[in-house]
Amino acid sequence: MSVWQAILQGMIQGLTEFLPVSSSGHLSIFQYFTGLSGESGAFFSIVLHLGTLFAVILAFFPTIWGLICEAFAMLGDIFRGRFTFRRVSPKRKMIFLLIVSLLPLVFVVFLKDFYESFSTDDGIIVEGLCLIVTGILLTLACQCPDTGKNAASMKYSDALAIGLAQAIAPMPGISRSGSTVAVGMMMGLGKKFAVTFSFIMGIPAVLGAVILEIPEVVKNGLALPLHIVIIGFVTSLVFGLLAIALVNRLVVSDKFRYFAYYTLIAGAIVVILGIIELFSGHVIQQAITGMLA
């Protein structure tokens, strides 16, 4: 993998991880056409996800730090016998909501190999179909009124629904941010709060995915040069921060519908290209890899 390929993939990951267009789908399509699929491509995807993970922590650090402090305060109340479920602060309730939203990830552990098989296979039809699903979710969300729900008024069933959306997000082409924010908006969450909840909820999910991959990475060794890994990490971090800032600007408007149009159109194009590749013996892929050689 060359330096420019590492930078380009870092840009794709950083921008599409938070813009509701599916980073995994775009990376999978890019890796397919450039011949970078397989174990090294999967390992580099982990590196890029770590970069965007740090971007979320930096962008939402005040909120995250407040939740951490509240968690320790709650533990103190438990040990002193002062804890109660009857009256909880919005921060404490948000901790409970986040825990509920993470419950569906238990199923992801068992479906890990199933999800990964689509990212490393020799086709892109599934990626195209999943992009279309993302577009449909965004279209439906844009039709829902903003009732201004926040942590104080949000229901635990809302958190579970958002968690289920996150559980299907490992499919390449299903946008994690897009699907979870869309379901949050369908549940009546305020647009800005839906983004905040979605992004913070994604931290344990991404971290857990990385931890699950560590044994395999250690077993196979570092498949890429260290400088390539660092470049990819830093690029995804920087462009991740830029994407988060952009989403925060767009979320209060109706601009999400443009992402719906994009994913629907992109999905249809990818499906068509995937069918052509399937019946032509991967002519397009061979032509592109030949030019890059």
Query: What is the predicted pLDDT for the residue at 39?
Result: 46
Please write the tens of the pLDDT for every residue from 87-123. 788 899 999 999 999 999 888 877 777 777 776 667 8
Going from the C-alpha of 248 to that of each of 147, 159, 175, the distances in angstroms are 18, 21, 17
What digits encode the pLDDT tens for the residues 156-210? 999 999 999 999 988 888 988 889 999 999 999 988 899 999 999 989 888 877 7
Please tell me the distance from the alpha carbon of residue 21 to that of residue 124, in angstroms, as a whole number: 16
Backbone angles phi, psi at 143, to 5 degrees: -85, -10
CA distance 58 to 226: 24
More confident residue, 35 or 170: 170
The rounded distance, in Å, linking the Cα atoms of 208 and 199 is 15
Q: What is the per-residue pLDDT for 177?
A: 87
| Gap between the Cα atoms of 171 and 149, Å rounded | 29
pLDDT digits (tens, 9 = 90+) for 138-149: 999 888 888 888
